[in-house]
Structure 1
Amino acid sequence: MSDWIREQLHPHYAQSLKIDELLYDSETDHQRLKVFQNGTFGRVLTLDDVVQTTEGDNFIYHEMLTHVPILAHGAAKRVLIIGGGDGGMAREALRHQSVEHVTMVEIDAGVVDFSKEYLPMLSDGAFDDPRLNLVINDGAAFMRETDQKFDVIIVDSTDPIGPGEVLFTDTFYGHAKRALNEGGILTTQNGVPFMQGDELTNTLRAFKALFADWGCYMATIPTYAGGPMAFGWGTDGAARSVTLEDLELRFAQANLTTDYYTPEVHKAAFALPAYVKRLLP
């Protein structure tokens, strides 16, 4: 008989996923990790019983947090990923042959180790790519101390609870901006605005003070329940105004095969519903 896992990230709303087979259950110094098999989503990773990624729908999240800034930039060679221990974000960033170097900073080595064993389809060889530099460190500390520069910085964090909380502060975002090359782009995951409006507002208040062009774009990921997810966007360049024709050319030159991202989706993702616009500071 199968069990169910109940995720109650929000105070008045929960979702449940059926556990067809529990594959991994272990507590690290930072959080409790589980991997289980689900009939719809394949393998599912949870941290403290909150869904982080799934074999079935991870492509939406990972494609939109990588391809949007990289293709909007047009000449990104150095990418920094904060978080992303499952390797999915590195997988998508490294699919761009024009990207010469990816630094990935993950606080929990346990997430990387078990993802290699239990979720290898998410990284799909990314951890073996010589362009990847994996750093086991606190993302906030790395950002504060680094003297490196990047064209794109992607914050693939958990929600602002526990270890992920420091990645949602004005100070962290200020350090991130300092680490951007001229024309560089910062993107962040900012939860589901219908359920987590304050999270988006607080991030964009910091972005408004830091960047000439700030805002967010959106995509719908089934297991991030409660509506479409928002991704923070900050840059001092003109990358957001890239034309559809230029995006189509860059996409063709990158020779990417995607399951969600298209140049048309890229442009449309910045069109915000009224309730989300009202969350902008």
Structure 2
Amino acid sequence: MTESRWFIEHFDSAGTAFGLRLTKKLEQVQTAYQHIEMWETDTFGYLMTIDGCTMVTSRDNFLYHEMMSHPALFAHADPKRVVIIGGGDCGTLREVLRHPGVEKATQIDIDEMVTRMSEKYFPELCESNNDPRAELLFIDGVKWMQECEAGSVDIIIVDSTDPVGPAEGLFKADFFRDCHRVLRDGGIIVQQSESPLLHADTIIKDLHANMREAGFTSTQTLPFPQPVYPSGWWSCTMAGKGCDVGSFRRDASAGKTFETQYYTAGIHEGALQLPPFMKKALG
């Protein structure tokens, strides 16, 4: 909601809220799936909201996109085929395609308008959309995964919204079973997993349980800062099919040939060290 010149998102369940001072509203559209709004802010550039919730801003999106992609790609032995479920703003796709060894990256988002809005307001996130290795599909990602050939993908990145509405099925054990089947041996799935402070003993704990129920042999949550999301702290949770997602190719990470704004080998290593309260919450 907006109050005066501010965009305010209330998190009633946590008893907190987040706000950005606005310059003006740019555009809004109601799709078959959700209500998308674009804003110009005083200090965070452009802001995209979906159903009244903060999705992405110009200023801090690199934190999320880099941590959703590079830890998984450097944890995998040799990733060539990557599938992104969601991720319509295309920032994760851009980060994946920074890796020269990736031969194909398929992005599957059910709502094409998210991508069209991003092309207009966040062109820097969409600079890899025309890469010959990129494939953009606007279909149901859950259905696509059910029909995908077994053992055909190295990494699955679930770059979804919160586990409600169109994204609810992306957090369930049945979906993870399909992902496990589609991944090759040594494959990795990574799912955005909400706030470590607010959701460690609920959403994140359930994710670990559902991933292991689906057959994954190792799981790991990596926290990272994210100012515009609840509590200012976010996370991704990885699971490996016969591989250890608690380790990564450190030399390759340290010697990467592309620039990042947040991710480094040291950041990756540090993110693997969970604080005691999270270890306790996750059992």
Do the structures match in fold with TM over 0.5?
A: yes
d(CA) in 1 for partners of 2:226, 2:103: 29
Is the aligned partner of 1:107 residue 2:110? yes
Query: Which of 71, 93, 96 in structure 1 is aligned with 2:96?
Result: 93
d(CA) in 2 for partners of 1:158, 1:192: 13
Q: What amino acid does structure 1 have at the position aligned with 2:191?
A: T
Q: What amino acid does structure 2 have at the position aligned with 1:234?
A: A
Counting aligned pairs with the same residue, the percent is 34
d(CA) in 1 for partners of 2:169, 2:158: 12
d(CA) in 1 for partners of 2:196, 2:167: 18
Cα deviation digits, residues 46-69 of structure 1 (max 9, x gap): 101111111111101110111101
Q: What is the 5 A alignment of 1:34-113? A: 34-113=37-116
Q: What amino acid does structure 2 have at the position aligned with 1:43?
A: Y
Alpha-carbon distance, 1:165 to partner: 0.6
Deviates more, 1:61-70 or 1:145-154: 145-154
d(CA) in 2 for partners of 1:257, 1:44: 24
Is the aligned partner of 1:203 residue 2:225? no
Task: Detail structure 1 runs of 4+ shifted over 6 Å in the superposition.
Answer: none
Alpha-carbon distance, 1:233 to partner: 1.1
d(CA) in 2 for partners of 1:9, 1:135: 32
d(CA) in 2 for partners of 1:24, 1:219: 30
Cα deviation digits, residues 154-177 of structure 1 (max 9, x gap): 000000111111111110111111
Q: CA contact under 8 A between 2:38 and 2:49: conserved in structure 1?
A: yes
What CA RMSD, in Å, does the superposition of the two structures yield over aligned residues?
1.7
Q: What amino acid does structure 2 have at the position aligned with 1:153?
A: I
d(CA) in 2 for partners of 1:193, 1:218: 7
Paired residue secondary structure (2:188): strand
Q: CA contact under 8 A between 2:211 and 2:219: conserved in structure 1?
A: yes
Q: What is the 5 A alignment of 1:1-281? A: 3-11=5-13, 12-123=15-126, 125-147=127-149, 149-197=152-200, 198-209=202-213, 210-235=215-240, 236-242=242-248, 246-252=249-255, 254-281=256-283
Number of residue equivalences: 276
d(CA) in 2 for partners of 1:162, 1:10: 18
Alpha-carbon distance, 1:183 to partner: 0.5
Q: What amino acid does structure 1 have at the position aligned with 2:261?
A: D
d(CA) in 2 for partners of 1:68, 1:106: 22
Q: CA contact under 8 A between 2:239 and 2:245: conserved in structure 1?
A: no
Deviates more, 1:271-280 or 1:157-166: 271-280
TM-score normalised to the size of structure 2?
Answer: 0.93
d(CA) in 1 for partners of 2:49, 2:31: 13
Cα deviation digits, residues 25-83 of structure 1 (max 9, x gap): 11111111111111221111110111111111110111011110101214101101000
TM-score normalised to the size of structure 1?
Answer: 0.93
Q: What amino acid does structure 2 have at the position aligned with 1:80?
A: V
Q: What amino acid does structure 2 have at the position aligned with 1:237?
A: C
d(CA) in 2 for partners of 1:31, 1:14: 21
